[in-house]
Structure 1
Amino acid sequence: MELALFLKSMLVGFSMSAPVGPIAVLCIRRTLVFGRLSGLVAGVGAATADSVYAMLAGMGMTLVANVLMEYHTVLRALGGVALLGMGITTWRSAVSCMRLPGASSGFWSTYVSTLLLTLANPLTLFLFAAVFASVGMDRFTPNYQTAVLLVGGVFLGAVLWWFLLSGLINCLRGKFTRHVLEVINRISGVVLALFGVAALVSIIVQ
């Protein structure tokens, strides 16, 4: 029973991280510019946030969930503004400032920024709840052991995805010319800005 819960949690964590979104764009860009470790750190920040939402969804912490949803508009607005700002900054940044892998000193800020960006979308909480129900994980009795297995599985599954993604991008990194990297940098900036605009527009039209 415990092993089944852990393996299902890993699968959920992996599959929830795989769709391409703003965090994936950030992870890819960090890997290209600063190296694999920086990209992985960005992914770990997102995995941490996913684990928090997975715990809330799996353990049925309705009070916290209600508070998050009450302020979901504010959170989404902050996330949208942050993504828009990141997009503009990314567009304007020059690839000539590229550093060698491991030379970046901004690992902590990278981790915190992706953690907060992921937490800024509390709808992830209900997505986790829906996925848990679809694979039968909602039938497990909520307790301390269940929480540890669920959170640990989701975290490891998500980290595994980011480890594979950053590793793949890092392998391709040396094949790109500076011009190609500059183009990727610009595309990343546009994509991040569009994600930010989409988040802000969704607030207006909801």
Structure 2
Amino acid sequence: FVQDNQSLLQLIGSVVLLVYAGYLFGANPSRTLQSQGVQSMSNWKDFVTGFLLTFSNPFILFFIIGLFARFSFLAPEFEAYHYVAGYISIFAGAVMWWFGVTWIVNKMRSHFNIRSLWLLNRIVGALIMLMGAIGLVTALHELLVNH
């Protein structure tokens, strides 16, 4: 299914990325800041919270499906051990990424103010928007050429 509908899935994933990027670009970080009375959590609690929040995000499922379609992860020439190694690598990469992100955020938390969060939202939003636009153009091109 994924391989047969690769362009359509990439198109849907790109639109989701563009919508999310627009939301992130326009988000006001001052509304989501915690009050000063809230204590900082440990690295482990930050990691678990961030990982579970990301894992429960439905956009991540669309993102993963799009990546599988784009990079032909489910090819007929692969054996079972290729898939096991691939899934373990994806999981290990996600865990390392979130451990690294939460460690950095925990260490740099006191250095961020509202202006820096606003600027970070704009930069990340623009990068995601660029990736979504490239994916959208690529998917539309493939759909038009193949049909």
Instruction: Using structure 1 for the length normalisation, give the TM-score.
Output: 0.50
Q: Percent identical across equivalent pairs?
A: 23
Match for 1:173: what amino acid?
Answer: R
Deviations 1:145-181 (A, max 9, x none): x866763454234312321233223322321221111
2:71: which partner in 1?
124
1:111: which partner in 2?
57
Q: Unaligned stretches of 5+ in structure 1?
A: 1-66, 130-137
Among candidates 86, 92, 99, match of residue 26 of structure 2: 92
* Structure with higher RCO (Cα < 8 A, 6+ apart): 2
Match for 1:174: what amino acid?
Answer: S
Going by fraction, where is helix more abundant, 1 or 2? Answer: 1
Deviations 1:28-64 (A, max 9, x none): xxxxxxxxxxxxxxxxxxxxxxxxxxxxxxxxxxxxx
Deviations 1:9-40 (A, max 9, x none): xxxxxxxxxxxxxxxxxxxxxxxxxxxxxxxx
1:78: which partner in 2?
12
Counterpart CA distance in 2 for 1:205 and 1:164 is 36
Deviations 1:79-128 (A, max 9, x none): 00000000111111101112447799x937853221221212312344x9
Counterpart CA distance in 2 for 1:109 and 1:142 is 25
Among candidates 65, 87, 90, match of residue 151 of structure 1: 87
SS in 1 for 2:71: helix
2:43: which partner in 1?
none
Instruction: Note the 1:8-19 alignment, pairs <5 A.
Output: none
Q: Mark the CA change 1:72 to 1:177 in structure 2 (over 3 Å): closer, same or farther.
A: same
CA RMSD of aligned residues (A): 3.3
Match for 2:104: what amino acid?
Answer: L
Q: Mark the CA change 1:125 to 1:163 in structure 2 (over 3 Å): closer, same or farther.
A: farther
2:125: which partner in 1?
189
Q: Mark the CA change 1:89 to 1:110 in structure 2 (over 3 Å): closer, same or farther.
A: farther
1:179: which partner in 2?
115
Among candidates 92, 97, 105, match of residue 169 of structure 1: 105
- Tell which deviates more after alignment, 83-92 or 111-120: 111-120
* Number of corresponding residues: 127
Q: Mark the CA change 1:118 to 1:162 in structure 2 (over 3 Å): closer, same or farther.
A: same
Q: Unaligned stretches of 5+ in structure 2?
A: 35-39, 41-45, 143-147
Counterpart CA distance in 2 for 1:82 and 1:153 is 25
Match for 1:87: what amino acid?
Answer: A
SS in 1 for 2:111: coil
